[in-house]
Copies of this chain bind each other. A is one copy, B any other.
Amino acid sequence: MKLSKLVGIRYKENPADCIIDSHIFSIRGGYIKQVSNGIFSLYTPMKRVTSKIEGILREEMENVECQEVMFPVVLPGSLWEESGRYESVGDELLRFNDRSGTPMVLGMTHEEAAVNLARDFGRTYANYPFSIYQIQTKYRDEARPRAGLIRVREFTMKDAYSFHTSQEDLEKYYDKMANVYFRIFQRAGIPDVISVKSDSGMIGGSVSHEYMLLADCGEDSIVLCDDCGYSANMEAADTIVDNSGCSGMTELKKVSTPCCKTIEDVCKFLNSPVEESCKAVMYQINATDEYVIVFLRGDYEVNETKLTNYLGEKVHAAEVTPESGIVAGFCGPYNQNAKCRIIYDKSLEGIESLCAGANETDYHYTGLNIKRDIGDVEYIDVSKIQTGGICPCCGKKTIKISRGIEAGNIFQLGTKYTDSMEMTYTDEDGTSKTPIMGCYGIGVGRLAACVMEAHHDDKGPIWPISIAPWQVHLCCMRVDDEECKAEADRIYCELKKEGIEVIYDDRDVRAGAMFADADLLGVPVRVTVGPKALKEGEIELSTRDKSVNGRVKKEDIIKETKALIAKLFEDIDKTVSPLI
């Protein structure tokens, strides 16, 4: 198509309020337009990118014999009541009543709808395993949408659901899906995406993995061991703390610690190592407001997801009142009289002599030995793993923390939904059993943003040929030069005839503006028809990333362009894992 007719505006300046590159270029390049907070319209270039991603998703789903279906966006609340999620999911589930007063929700994931659709077919063991997927709009009423298409309220998602009669069969299929997930990212041009063990969160289930694009702008923290290849997200990484080098047992002593506000202050004041201190972090359970005190080593932080998972309850930072009995700033495990739940983090295990709050303003204990002074306690892992920490897999002190963007996830759900929604099948032996589920998601728009994040320079995105909005960007440098215009027109027609996707800049604008727009559209192959080269019978042929940047004879331009496109596709194909 002609660039002069492409609906959308491209901007020279960076937009306000955009921090990450993919967001900046999404706005500057005329890819998206914000309609409401976290809700976007897609202009044609982004729609073309997402359509190509959807094409890859469909092909890869076919590779694992997953059937395309379509669930509704608007779902009856009753379906979510069946699974228990109508109550359990927070405000991100948009609930409303229809005109007849019936409670409805906007689908944010479709486990319930999948069970609803598959229930009848799944009544007999003979029909298993099977899996279904859809590519559709979802809505999550996010409190803080951010970063363009990275964290939105409305988004298009490919979500697949598989049904099995045994855990073994689920695992076999899960591995196949993991394989095509890598293929999807490879085909979309981001082969560096890694899979990390993750916490299953509100979806449920035991085993799950996230596919992460490592990127400084990512909002997820990823735990990596370069030595053994271990990877997990923060919630899923076991924190192992080695306290073997600590001091031996000493006497319990109450000491004055005036004006010490933090555990660091106290340790400094007492000239005691922070590794042998015990700090307290206070929470309240959302449902009951009951206090929960977490005691952990002074240099560690609580991971609230681990804490929530252990408690089975959501929590918020405590508001410590005088009635609570908690002495804020001086809270410790010894002589603790507050009515509350107490959790000892694993980071404290093995320390013989602790400095800890004395539950009295301006006083701490030193020499506290939990076993001796308090008794046997259970140590729970609710803290965040740290850089340089011990790898839960190989045991070396090799842990690295990186930032990443979640580009997809897969879950072994078990029977969470089939149980609660009473989906059953008759097994070969005539008994009634509950099928086992898996689910597998990829956000289409977020994947596009991830690719932009991974492939750009300071002028705009550099789209991989497989998902580029067009394959060729054709520039006519002088529309007022008859020969130049005629040659560009000819190339446009011939490329289109060859089935090549061309965006043709036939505008009468300066070269600088023309190239700036081309850079923002990020089309991988560029054909530039200029009067100077044309005088010598040549056309410029280059790639957006400048790895190719030269001239070809004008009679060869179609052939050479096709060859270049084919080569770019081959380069992508080389990164793609074989099917298992």
Contacts and interface: CB of A to CB of B under 8 A. Distances in A.
Given A98-B141, A113-B35, A143-B99, A41 B7 contact: no
16 contacts: A5-B127, A7-B118, A7-B132, A9-B120, A9-B121, A36-B76, A39-B75, A41-B72, A42-B69, A44-B132, A47-B134, A70-B156, A73-B139, A74-B154, A98-B153, A137-B137
B96 A94 contact: yes
B154 A7 contact: no
A118 B1 CA distance: 18
B139 A7 contact: no
Interface string A131-167: 0101011010101000000000110100000000000
Contacts of A511: none
Contacts of A118: 7
A116 interface: yes
A8 interface: yes
Contacts of A51: 68
Contact of A141 (B35, B41, B42, B99): B99
A86 interface: no
Contacts of A137: 73, 136-137
A67 interface: yes
A314 interface: no
A95 to B, nearest CB: 9
Contacts of A121: 7-9
Q: How many copies does the complex hold?
A: 2
Contacts of A99: 91-92, 94, 141, 143
Given A36-B74, A74-B139, A99-B143, A69 B43 contact: yes
A73 B140 CA distance: 12
Interface in A62-110: 65, 67-76, 79, 91-92, 94, 96, 98-100, 102, 104, 106
Given A4-B127, A41-B69, A91-B99, 14 more contacts: A7-B67, A9-B121, A35-B76, A40-B72, A41-B72, A41-B116, A42-B69, A44-B67, A46-B70, A72-B154, A73-B73, A74-B139, A74-B153, A100-B143
Nearest to A445: B70
Contacts of A92: 99
Given A35-B79, A96-B96, A98-B141, A74 B106 contact: yes
Nearest to A30: B121
A443 to B, nearest CB: 14
Interface in A1-47: 1, 4-9, 33, 35-37, 39-44, 46-47
A230 interface: no
Contacts of A130: 5, 7
